[in-house]
Amino acid sequence: MRGDEKGGRLSSQASKPDTPDATLIARVRAGDQDSMTVVYDRYGSIVYATALRILGDAAAAEDVLQEIFMQLWRNPSAFDGSRGSLPAWLGVIARHRAIDVLRKRHPETDFEDVVIAASVDLGREAERNVIAEKVRGAMTSMVPEQRRCMELAYFEGLTHSEIAAKTGEPLGTVKTRIRSALIQLRKLLSPGERS
Amino acid sequence: MNTHDQFAENVRLYALGSLDAGERQSFEGHLHECAECRRELHAAQEELGLLALSTVGPKPPARSRERLLSAIAKEPKRVERQANIGKGWMWIPWFATVVFALLSALLYFANLRLKNDVAAIRANSQTQEVELRQAREMLDLLKSPDAMRVTLTTPNEKPKPNGKTIYSQQKGRLILMVSNLAPAPPHMAYELWLVPKQGAPVPAGTFWPDASGNATMMQTTMPSGMEPKAFAVTLEKAEGSDTPTMPMVMMGAAGD
């Protein structure tokens, strides 16, 4: 049951799988549930996979998935289409929330505070797949120590001091490893490299 | 490396949440002021988003989709429908105008009162500033190494050791000024005592006179509320003592 006439009219337009993200979000703002369903079908798996990788618990990952999409439904304006791509934004939010759950703490990041650059075009699934493959390749090509540092920072949300304590490596080395890993990633995604 | 460069190095670590609490706070302070770091942060956030994109794993179970759809169906959004505002609502702009006028008047008077308060605070602050400057000048003079202290006596009389204490019972603060005092023997110090009307003497600090026999000491941590009967000075071991060792070098009764 749609909430109103406007929502019902928009829903018939929104159900196409190739509708741009910005249009979908605009329709979600107008209360269109079908557009929300398309957003979920498009990006639910990114949020779930990230939460599951961090939490290692399917039920907890499902809760994070539910919470994030409900928040987006309640406050779609938190995502500003002019300041980033929706899948990357959802990925960052998913990571933050899952780490909050992992560390048993109250949510530390507001959705509105997450602003991301949009230097990479993630509008189409094929492009997303190419980028994802490149990022996976970059992670695999890292030396094991560097990959370990990145995984501890990214998937476990540890601070560099905690990583240093866990790996027994000097603090400066840990910082350098993480920083250079992300710089490597950035280079990989720069226009010259992408082509 | 300038301050910005030092912070710029931490942008990616901040985006990851890898900075420790102290570093995080100081970086956030810098972030408010630095547009370049904000741009860098947004780029780093994108990198993190792409890392999430590359995470492989199973698809969410079908029940998650049903659960979400059911939840959003229960929470229909309140959508603004401007076109439905009919003539029956025409009083709203008039009402808003009246409210606005009332609020403006209220704000005007509040502003007037605030201006008066600010003027009073400024006047008070200027008075306090003058008093503080005078107090500081007096203290500087008392503590100045070149301050000359001359004790006036009847002609041909050799100056004797003497001291003055100024003590505030309420504030628990005390100043001692002595002159013409012989140097303390090696490993010894002079110690000032507050002798209360009731109870044992309370130590009020050790001091050493300079080459001219002068000393000034300030105590701001005396227990407040003690009614002194007298003040006394004794010679004690250098680190001070809990009880006075006789004989007294100087003594003065309170109220003399």
Which among A31, A62, A135 has CB closest to B50?
A135
B256 against B228, higher pLDDT: B228
Q: Kindly list the domain boundaries of chain A, sorted by start residue.
A: 1-118, 122-195
Partners of B174 in beta bridges: B167, B219
Residues B247 and B177 in one domain: yes
Q: C-alpha A160: how far from its chain's center?
A: 22
Nearest to B166 by CA among B211, B209, B204, B201: B204
Contacts of A65 in chain B (CB under 8 A): 60, 64, 68
Q: Mind telling me how many Å the CA of B25 is from chain A's nearest CA?
A: 14
End-to-end CA, chain B: 65
Cα–Cα distance between B60 and A52 in angstroms, integer?
9
Contacts of A4 in chain B (CB under 8 A): 76, 79, 81
Q: Is the dihedral of CA A185, A190, A192, A194 positive or negative?
A: positive
Residues B188 and B246 in one domain: yes
Residues B175 and B224 in one domain: yes
Residue B31's domain spans which residues?
3-53
**Range among A143-152, A176-185, B10-19, B117-126 rated most confident:** A143-152
Which tokens sit at A91?
């990925």
Q: Are residues B77 and A89, on separate chains, in Cβ contact within 8 Å? A: no
Report the pLDDT value the prediction gives residue A10, as an integer from 0 to 100.
43
Which among B18, B64, B76 has CB closest to A178?
B18
Q: Is residue B246 part of a domain?
A: yes
For A1-118, CATH number? 1.10.1740.10
Partners of B236 in beta bridges: B189
Cα–Cα distance between B253 and B230 in angstroms, integer?
4
ipTM value, please give it. 0.80
Whole-angstrom Cα Rg for chain A:
18
Between helices A58-74 and A33-55, what is the axis angle to 10°?
140
Query: Which residue is it, tokens 């050791």?
Result: B161
The string of DSSP letters for A46-105 reads HHHHHHHHHH--HHHHHHHHHHHHHHHHH-GGGS-GGGS-HHHHHHHHHHHHHHHHHTT-
Partners of A104 in beta bridges: none
Query: Which residue is it, tokens 């025409």?
Result: B90
Residues B171 and B234 in one domain: yes
Burial class of residue A26 in the structure, from the number of CB atoms within 10 Å of its CB (0-12 exposed, 13-18 middle, 19+ buried):
middle
pTM to 2 decimals? 0.56
Which among A7, A31, A178 has CB closest to B12?
A178
By percentage, how much of chain A surpasses pLDDT 90?
Answer: 41
Q: What total number of domains does chain B contain?
A: 3
Whether CATH 1.10.10.10 fits A122-195? yes
Pairing of β B228-237 and β B248-253: antiparallel
Which tokens sit at B24?
């995080």
Contacts of B13 in chain A (CB under 8 A): 160, 175, 178-179
Q: How confident is the model at residue A52 (pLDDT cuts 50, 70, 90)?
A: very high
| Helix or strand run (H / E) with residue B166 | strand B162-168
Q: How confident is the model at residue A9 (pLDDT cuts 50, 70, 90)?
A: very low
Cα–Cα distance between A1 and A16 in angstroms, integer?
19
